[in-house]
Structure 1
Amino acid sequence: MRQLPFRSRLLSILGLLLFAGGAWAAEPSEADIEKLLVASRAESMLQAIIPQMEAMQQEQFRQLMGDQPLTPEQQAEVQRIQARTNEIVRRTLAWDNMKPMYVQVYRQSFSRDDVRAITRFYESSAGQALLDKTPALMQNLMVAIQEKMVPMLEELQSEAQNVSAMPAPEVSPPQKRRRK
């Protein structure tokens, strides 16, 4: 019987180890993931998004309508459309509809050990503080980012003006081919 060269044997062993590596990381159970979802307040965070989405939709409607005056019938129609779109958003983002997706994505993304460690973190006082302070953190980040954006937008506007002040390149018309 012929033996494989050392390099081939080494590659085979490494391949087996890599293949088996996926089996070493145990998949989280649904109960593990549900415990994480509760600890991380996933449901309440999802529900907090809904009013924000509705406010964005309302602003979009306002922008679409502009300054044009609407008749009472048109106003009623806009309100009916807004109510319908709000209903669709609420139905789509209802926890009962979204939870299976969360479980599936968490199962695909994390091992059982990851889920359990993340759950322990969210159950800790530091994890709870993170959850409690995340809305304020996000608000503060948005303010800070907007402050950074103003000078950047001014710089971009200046660059755009410089580009528009440049003379246009000369373009010569294509030459016609002569037929032989």
Structure 2
Amino acid sequence: MNIGSHRHVLSGFALAVLTAVAAGPVAAQTTRASAASVEKLVAINGAQKALEQAVGGIETQVRSQVVMSLLQQNGGAPLNAQQQTAVNKVVPAVGAVLRREMGWPNLKDPYVKLYQAQLNQDEVNRLIKLYEDPGYQTLMQKMQTVNLQSAQLIQQQLPVILQKIQPVLEDTLKDALKQ
């Protein structure tokens, strides 16, 4: 073999090494996130707490809807003792089913799989680092306050908006009924 062919073999080898080195970070970035790291992420990002709050909210809505339904059946009269007892019995029973079926022990594995399907290991690591950052935690607490106050602001504006929508709806219905 002459020097030229050695250079060709060496340059091919060098190209292969450089390609492997360059591909290394890409391969690392696309590594599937481990279940343990995703579990850590969902533990610190509040997914479990949010799920538990959602279940509590659904239970509250169920109570409200049951009471409203009974009030309608009563023609708007207050619930009698038997109806109130029924509400006090059924709502906790429904809540127990919700907590059992939508509780963290039941949904933890599907949550982990969902995160693993969407995020690679590098992304999970970056998110964990972000969620553990005290500055980020402070910022997120402030954003929760902003979101809560924004919802309250919209809630305050809703009666005014509905009042302005009412004539539009009435006019539209009148026009539709003329035809």
Q: Do both share a fold (TM > 0.5)?
A: yes
Q: Which shows bigger deviation, 146-155 or 47-56?
A: 146-155
**Could you tell me which residue of structure 2 aligns to residue 65 of structure 1?**
70
Q: Does 1:77 align with 2:86?
A: yes
Give the SS at the match of 1:101: helix
- Structure 1 alignment gaps of length 5 or more: 1-20, 170-180
Superposition deviation, residue 71 in structure 1: 4.5
Q: Which shows bigger deviation, 138-147 or 69-78?
A: 69-78
Distance 1:160 1:74, change over 3 A: closer
Q: Which amino acid aligns with 2:36?
A: A
Tell me the percent identity.
23
Q: Within 5 A, what are the aligned runs for 1:16-165? A: 25-66=30-71, 67-165=76-174
Kindly tell me the number of residue pairs found equivalent between the two proteins. 149
Q: Which amino acid aligns with 2:154?
A: I
Is the contact made by 1:27 and 1:107 (CA closer than 8 Å) also made in structure 2? Answer: yes
TM-score using structure 1 length: 0.69
Q: Which amino acid aligns with 2:40?
A: K
Is the contact made by 1:29 and 1:112 (CA closer than 8 Å) also made in structure 2? Answer: yes
Write the distance in 2 (CA, Å) between the matches of 1:140 and 1:83.
30
Q: CA RMSD in A?
A: 2.6
- Structure 2 alignment gaps of length 5 or more: 1-25
Distance 1:85 1:134, change over 3 A: farther
Write the distance in 2 (CA, Å) between the matches of 1:115 and 1:49.
24
TM-score using structure 2 length: 0.70
Superposition deviation, residue 93 in structure 1: 2.4
Is the contact made by 1:54 and 1:86 (CA closer than 8 Å) also made in structure 2? Answer: yes
